Chain A
Amino acid sequence: MGLFGNLFDKFKQGLQRTQELVLAPMQRLLGLRRLDEDQLLELEDLLLQADLGLHAVERLMERLRFEMKRNAEIDPKAVLKDELLKILRQVPSRPLEAKGTQVVLLVGVNGVGKTTTLGKLASHLKSRGEDVLVVAGDTFRAAAIDQLELWGERAGVPVIRNQMGGDPAAIAFDGATSAQAKGTPWVLIDTAGRLHTKDHLMRELDKIHRSLQKVIPEAPHRVILVMDATTGQNGLVQAEAFKAAAGITDLVLTKLDGSAKGGVVVPILERMKLPIAFVGVGEGVDDLIPFDPEAFVDGLLSA
C-alpha cells in the first residue's frame, strides 16, 4: 500500500508539474484551491491583460480575497465567473421583435465593423422571413455605400442611398418614410464611423434622431453601439460619449474571433447597464450570434 501510495503521490506531483508547464498560466492559477500573494498578483496581471480595466479587476480581486477569508478552499474560477456574470447579466438582451416599423441605428467609431454588422443583421432578419430596408447613412467614407449595397445584394434586401457627401439625416428620413408607407418591419441605418471626440459629427447623430422622429415619434427604437473587441480602456469613454449623443440602447461586440476577448465591455456594462445584443465572430453572413454571457466569461478566463 505504502508503495502504491508513494507512487500515486509521485504521479500526482508529476501531473501537477506537467499541468503547470502545459496549461495556460490562467488555467494553472484558476485550478488552485488557495492563492498566495504572488499568485494573486500574477492573476491580477492576467486579468488586466483581458482589457477588464483596473477598476473591474480590483473588484474581482476583492471578491477572491473575501472568499478566501471565509473558506479554507475556494474555486477561483467559479468565484470570478460568478462575479463577472453578475455584471454581464444585469440587463438581459432584448430580442429583436417586429412591431410596426422598427428603426435600428448603428453607430460607433471608425473601423469597428458597423457596415459588416449591419449586413449580417439584415441577412438574419431576412432569413426569419421579415422584410428589411437598409439605409446607407455613411455618406462620408469612400465606397461605404458600395460596400453596403454588396451586403444588401447578399442578403436580398433593398438599400436606399443618396450621393456621397449627402445629408445622412435626409436619407434616414426617406428610409423611415418609405418603410412606414410600405409596412416594412425593419429599417436598418448605417452611419459613418466617427470618433466620439468630434463634436460636430456627434451632433449629426442628433440630427438623424430628430429627422427620424418626424416620421415615427418613437424612432429610433434601437441605437446599437458597435465596438471592436480589441478596443482598450478608451471603450468606456466611447460608450459614454455615444450614450450622451445618441442614446445607445444596445452593444454589439465585433471581431471576437481574434485573440482579443473584449474585456472592456465588463467595465462598460458595470457602469452603464446596457445589454449586449450580438457578437460578431467572423466575416461570413452567419457570423453574428446572440451574446452568451457564460461562453463570453469562459473566453475571458481562458487566456
Chain B
Amino acid sequence: MFESLTEKLTKAMKSLRGETRLTEKNIEDALREVRMALLEADVHVQVARTFLQRVKEKALAQGPDGKGTVVLDGLNPAQQFIDIVYQELTEIMGGTAPEHPLDFASKPPTVVMMVGLQGAGKTTTCGKLAKFLKKLGRSPLLVPADIQRPAAVEQLHVVAQDAGVPSYRTDSKDPVAICKAAVEEARIKGWDTVILDTAGRLHLDEQLMNELVRIQEGTQPNEILFVADAMTGQDAVRSATAFHEKLGLTGVILTKTDGDTRGGAAFSIKHATGRPIKFVGEGEKLDDFQRFHPDRMAQRILGMGDVLTLIEQAKDKIDEKEAEAMAQKLVKNQFTLEDMRSQLQQVKKMGSMQKLIGMLPGMGQMKAQIESVVTDKRMTHLEAILNSMTPRERANHNLLDAKRKRRIAAGAGRPVHEINQLLKQFLEMKKMMGQMKDPRFMKRMAAMKNMPGMPKMPF
C-alpha cells in the first residue's frame, strides 16, 4: 500500500518538475495524498484537516517574499510540500520534548500514575518503566491498584519480579487506600519512585473515573501518564480528551508499536491533549521500551519512507565543494586512499547502504547481489582500515609494505587479506578513473548524473 501511494504521487507530480514555487495548484495532488495517508494511519479526521490547512497556509506564505516556498533543486513541488508536512508533523509531535524523561519530585518519592483503557498495556508498561528507571539508578516501587481485572495484581507482582523491582503487597481491596498506603511506605522505606498501576477503565464510566480523581487527590502524583495502544483508531481523541479533562495528564506512553500499525493515534492524542509522548513500548520483553522519537513516528504516520529519504538527500549531505575538488582529482588521476576514505564517509552520511541501494532505479534485481558484497558492516570495516593508516600512507599507497599492513590490520582489528582486498579495489577504482579522461566515458557519466540518487558517486 505504501509503494502504491508513493508511486501515485510520483506519477501525479511528474508534470510539475521544474516549477520553482509552491502554489495552491501544484500542491493540490500532494495535499490529497497526504490527507489519505494520514487517514489510513488513523489520524483523526478533524486533526488531519486542521493540520493540513495550517501546513498549506504556511507553505504558500513561506518564501523569501511571502509568495510561496521555493522548491529546492532536485525536488518537485509535491515533494517539497511533503517535506514541509513532515517537518511540521515532527515538530508538533516532539515540540517541547522535556530534557528529563519524567518530572521527578524534588522531595521523594516521585509518584507516577498510569491510566488508560482496558487492554492498552498498563501493567506490562509499569514493568518496563520500572526497569527503565532502575537503569537510571532510581529505585522504583510498583503498586497494584487494579483490583477489577482478575489476577491483575498477581500479574503486576510477576512483572515486578522480572524487572527486579519490589511490588507493594496488601490485602486491601480499595484502590485509593492501597495507593495512599504505598506512597507512605515508599517515603518511609526510601523507594524514590512509586508507580501506580490503576485498573483499565472506560472514560464513559463516571464512577471509575471519579475513583482515579480520588487516587490523584490522595497521592498528588508528579506524573499522570496515559497509556495508549498504538493501534487505536479515531476514538483515541475521545478517550484521551476525556482522561485529560478529568485528571490533567502530564504525558503519554504509546504501546504495541512493534506491529505494523502506522500509529496515527499518537498524533491525534498529542494534538488533542497537547501533552508530550514520553515513551514507546515496542515488544514483548521488558527491555523493549524507549524514549519517544518524533521524527521516526512522523515518518511512520506518513508512510512515505522512500519519498522522505529522497528529499533528505536532495536537501544536502553531499558537500558541493568537496565534490568539485574530487572531480578535479579524478580527471588528473590523483585519486588517493585519502580520497577513498572521504568518499566512504560521504556515502555513509547518506544513510544505510541497503536503503541507498533500494532507492537506485533499476537496481531491483541486482539488489540482493550487491547487498551481499556491499554491506554496512563491510563499509565500517573498510573505514576502520583506512582510519588505521597514517596520513602519509593514505596519500601514497606505495608505502604499504607487509610490515605496515600488519600494523594496520592490528589497528583495525581486521585480517591482513582484507587490507590487500581494499588495496586491490582501490587500484581498480583508480584505473577506472583514469579512463574518465576518455571523452566517451565522460558522456556516459553525464547521462547518469541526471538519475536520482546517482549524482557524484564515482563508486
Contacts and interface: CB of A to CB of B under 8 A. Distances in A.
B120 to A, nearest CB: 6
Contact of B239 (A48, A237, A258): A258
Interface in A63-77: none
A288 interface: no
B36 A147 contact: no
B376 interface: no
A151 B150 CA distance: 8
Interface stretch (B22-30, B55-63, B71-79, B259-267): B259-267
Q: Most chain-A Cβ atoms within 10 A of its Cβ — which of B39, B41, B152?
A: B39
B87 interface: no
A50 interface: yes
Contact of B45 (A49, A113, A237): A49
A68 B150 CA distance: 53
A142 B256 contact: no
Contacts of B260: 196-197, 234, 237
Contacts of A198: 258
A48 B234 contact: yes
B117 interface: yes
B256 A197 contact: no
A112 B154 contact: no
A233 interface: yes
A147 B42 CA distance: 32
Contact of A233 (B40, B229, B238): B40
Contacts of A50: 234
Nearest to A237: B260
A234 B264 CA distance: 11
Interface stretch (A27-35, A95-103, A224-232): A224-232
A125 interface: no
B150 A49 contact: no
Interface string B143-157: 000001111101101
A140 interface: yes
B234 A49 contact: yes
Nearest to B158: A142
A5 B158 CA distance: 74
A143 B231 contact: no
Contacts, number: 141
Interface residues of A, number: 45
A258 B45 contact: no
A231 B155 contact: no
B261 to A, nearest CB: 4
Interface string B340-374: 00000000000000000000000000000000000
A146 B152 CA distance: 9
A276 interface: no
Given A109-B231, A197-B258, A143 B155 contact: yes
A111 B232 contact: no
B202 A230 contact: no
B229 A258 contact: no
Interface string B132-171: 0000000000000000111110110111001000000000
Interface string A136-164: 00001111101101110000000000000
B40 A54 contact: yes
A45 interface: yes
B235 interface: yes
A140 B42 contact: no
A258 B232 contact: no
Contacts of B264: 232
6 contacts: A142-B155, A143-B158, A150-B151, A232-B233, A232-B264, A238-B231
Given A51-B235, A110-B121, A144-B151, 10 more contacts: A45-B46, A51-B233, A51-B234, A109-B231, A147-B152, A228-B229, A232-B236, A233-B41, A258-B203, A259-B202
Interface of B: 36, 39-42, 44-46, 49, 117-121, 123-124, 148-152, 154-155, 157-159, 162, 202-204, 229, 231-236, 238-239, 256, 258-262, 264-265, 284
Interface of A: 45, 48-51, 53-54, 109-113, 116, 140-144, 146-147, 149-151, 195-198, 228-235, 237-238, 255, 257-260, 263-264, 283
